[in-house]
Structure formats: structure tokens, C-alpha cells
Amino acid sequence: MKELLNKRRAGILLHITSLPTGDFGKDAYYFVDFLHDCGITVWQTLPLGMTHSDGSPYQSLSAHAGNTALINIEKLVEKNWLLVSEQCEQCQGTPSFNKCCLLTKAYQGFLERAETEDKKAFKQFCKDKAFWLDDFALFMALRNEFNQQSWNNWSEPLKERESKAIKAAAKRLKETIDRYKFEQFVFFTQWMAIKDYANQRGVFVFGDIPIFVSYDSADVWANRKVFKLDNSGQMSVVAGVPPDYFSETGQRWGNPHYNWQYLQETGFAWWLDRMRTQIEQFDILRIDHFRGLEAAWEIPADQETAQIGQWAKAPGWQLLEAFKKELGSIALVAEDLGIITPEVEALRDDFDLPGMKILQFAFGGGPDNPYLPDNYDRNCVVYTGTHDNDTTLGWSQKIPDYEKHYIHDYLSNPSISLHCALIQAALSSVANLAVIPMQDILELGSEHRMNTPGTTVGNWSWCFHWEQLTPERAGRLSYLVGLFNRK
């Protein structure tokens, strides 16, 4: 699949939650049709994992499980697993991210009315995914029993996964456990149907894999040896990045660091399992915070910011070699933003991975700025901005006039607005893949940005409306994609 990244392509960055209905319903298929009609062959999303209450797709409850808030309820009604009469007034008014009641009813309907073929498919799914699904479903059932507390606050026998306590919990909570498994079955069934439809329309799905996992997750609870934890399961150091373009105090993510010695001793089995789940769901994968595979920023757990810490080495070369040996040719992209050293560049280049170029970063510094289009080679992915940036319109309204004049001079395109000029610069560049956030296609301002790094409120909730995608905007996009030979 690596050859997918060797051809000139255009893509759009849009998370599932940013669709008008925010789920796997008809809008997802309409969006694929829009991409196909414009000649765009890549749809990039953010991670699809089950989020915590803050909604961040980069802090999920499992490295494998999907976010059940993305499940489309109408499709459950079509399957006759959920009856229209069962959708009480309260459920009908519930936001798309809170579907627990309806999914519970759908599970009962599945048990009572599902076709034999569907029940066989569910049974096979549970068998195929047992290597992560069993732990995840039990974890979620216990988390529910403990009022959503993190696993390190559970009773000692369950926190420590004592065999007798685990067996008793599995028996006591069997019905709830089976329901969580059913929800994952529905998630994967609906998402894979969208992926298949996209592939049939010539559109490839581009996913994102966070390098770290959340401390409060099934993975850490069930695989403590994989992570740097003390004997009581606590973290002495947490992950993040030092001060950079995005934040003056850095970003304290709070994720546990990996016990790379244990991972190497076990042949990176945990990572390989994680990647198998991802390459099933996506055609292309971005490794978020790629530099962490060479060295990651360790912050003392008692520090409130990321300003104090140290770089801890990681065996990234050996891990990527294991991917290559065990998983074959994967279309991987390295998110190589931030503090990038020659060692990180060498790791990326040794495995011929395309890195990322952000046009909003291109016009500071001198002519050797690596984000300037003149300095690209073909093996890269260019963006106007990412989910962590301001929208390009919002960004352009905040930069000083002298910088605007410099950008217009550089791009030799003073007759159009700055944000439109950056879209054209991305599409016209030599980069094999050019990806434009949907907000930039729709010419939206700062109030529509997806995420502001270093903040915990007001993020991840943006969605677009079809009326914003006027025929003129779609037509112009299609024209540019063809003009710059990206169809």
C-alpha cells in the first residue's frame, strides 16, 4: 500500500464528528461522493478511538476500540435491531455523542430479532478481536461499575487484575460486557462499510495513530508492563512536548511513557497488534508525534507544565523495522513537526517516510525555511494547516501587513485572498499529497478551528453544514485539483 503515497493526490482533512450529523450516517457517504466528484482521492480523519469526557481523539480509552458516539442510529433501525417506538423523547433529543440508551436497546433488539447471518458475524468478530476486545469490554464494564473512575482508583484486586477477582467480575458483568462487544461490532461494521464505499469511489482513507495512549485506558490497565509505571501502577513521568510554536509552556499531555526495554524483549508484540487494528481501518496512517519514536519528552509527573523535562531515547528504528518485517508495505506518514533533530530526520528518511509541511509555518525565517514550497521534495505531505492550527483565514487575519506582502510576493499571486493563495500553493507544490482542512475549503475564520493546543475547553466540536459548500466552492476546488494534476 506504500505506493499510494507515490502519486500526486489531493486530500481533505475532516474528522467524522465534523460531518453535519457527526456520525457514520448518510453524510459520510455524501462526503465521499463530494470528494470523488472533485477528483480528491484522500480523506484524512483524526483518530477514531473512544474519547474521554473532553472529547479529544488523542486521549482514548483504548488503542483498538472505536468511538461508539460515531455509530449511526438510523442504520440500527434499518436492521430492525432498534424500533422507532423505542426511541423515547429523551433519546431523540440526545446529542450524537450520548447514545448509550439507544445502543442498549439496539443490543436487546439484536438478541431478539437479528438475522442468523448477523449473529454469526458478531460471534466471529468477538473471536477475531478477542486479543483486545475481551479486556476492553471488561474494562468498560468495571469503569461503569466504579462510576467512571480511572482504573487506578478501583478496588485493589481489580486494579491489580487478580485472577479470582477478574473471573468473578467477568461472570457478574457478563451482560454488560457482551453489550460493549456488540457496540464495537456495530462500530467496525459501519466504519468498514464507509471505507469500502470510499475505496470503490477511488477515495483512500487516511487515519491518525497517536503515539501515546491514555493512562486511563484498557491498554494500560491490562498491559502494565508495556508502560513506565511503578509497582503501584502510578506514573513518575508523563509525556508531552517542551515549549514550541504552539505553546510557550509546552504541552503536558499526561500520557504514560513506554517501557521500551520490555517492548523490545517481546518483539514489539503490543505495538504490532495495535498497528494491525489500524491498517484494517485505514489505507494510509499518520504516526502522530513521530519524533517520539526517536526520543520523547519526559516530564516529572508532579510538574504542572512541560517546561521541565528531559528527552528519553526510544528504539524507533527497531520498531519500524518490525512493522516492515511483520506487516509488509504500509503507507505511513511521519508527523515530524516541532523540535526535529538530525536523528529524527534520519529515522524518517531511513524508512522513506513522507514528512509534513505546513504552509502557515513557511514564511518566518529565511529562504532555508523547510516549510517553503521551494524546499520540498516530492516525498512529503503539504497542508495549509492542521487540526492544531488556526484556520488559514483566521491565521491570515492576524499576521502583520509586512508578512502578508512578503507572502503575496513569494507566491506571485496578489490578485486573490491570502488563504486562497495558500490553498493554491499547496496544490501546485511538488509534494505528492496536498491536504486541505475543510475549514479552509469553506473559507471559515478562527471561531471554526478544531483545536487550540494547551487548552482543554472549546475544542473538537466544530462541524460544517452542507449549505456552506456552495457549487462555486466545489467547482473551484475541482478546477484547482485538475489544474495541478492531482486527479
Q: Of 20, 34, 75, 77, nearest to 190 (Cα)?
A: 75
Q: Which residues contact 479 (CB under 8 A, 6 or more apart)?
A: none
Q: Is 89 a catalytic residue?
A: no
Distance (Å, whole) CA 154 – CA 148 = 10
Active-site choice (135, 183, 208, 288) = 288
Distance (Å, whole) CA 182 – CA 159 = 25
Active-site choice (208, 283, 298, 335) = 335
Q: Of 180, 167, 202, 164, nearest to 107 (Cα)?
A: 180
Amino acid at residue number 29:
Y
CB atoms within 10 A of CB 206: 25
Q: Are 105 and 82 in contact (CB under 8 A)?
A: yes
Q: Are 357 and 370 in contact (CB under 8 A)?
A: yes
Sort 214 into a burial class: Cβ within 10 Å, 0-12 / 13-18 / 19+. buried
The order of strands in the sheet holding 380-383 is 331-334, 284-287, 204-209, 42-44, 9-13, 433-437, 380-383, 355-358
Active-site choice (216, 298, 388, 440) = 388
Distances (CA, A) of 439 to 140, 207, 468: 35, 18, 10
C-alpha cell belonging to residue 308: 521541565
Q: What is the DSSP string of 30-87?
A: HHHHHHHHHT--EEE----BPB-TT--TTSBS-SS-B-GGG--HHHHHHTTSS-GGG-
C-alpha cell belonging to residue 304: 504542572
Strands 433-437 and 42-44, bridge-based pairing: unpaired
Q: What is the DSSP string of 277-308?
A: HHHHH-SEEEETTGGGGTEEEEEETT-SSSSS
Q: Of 98, 180, 68, nearest to 135 (Cα)?
A: 180
Q: Is 335 a catalytic residue?
A: yes
Please calculate the CA angle 303-304-305 and round it to the nearest 5 degrees. Answer: 95
Q: Is 288 a catalytic residue?
A: yes
By annotation, the residues acting in catalysis are: 288, 335, 388
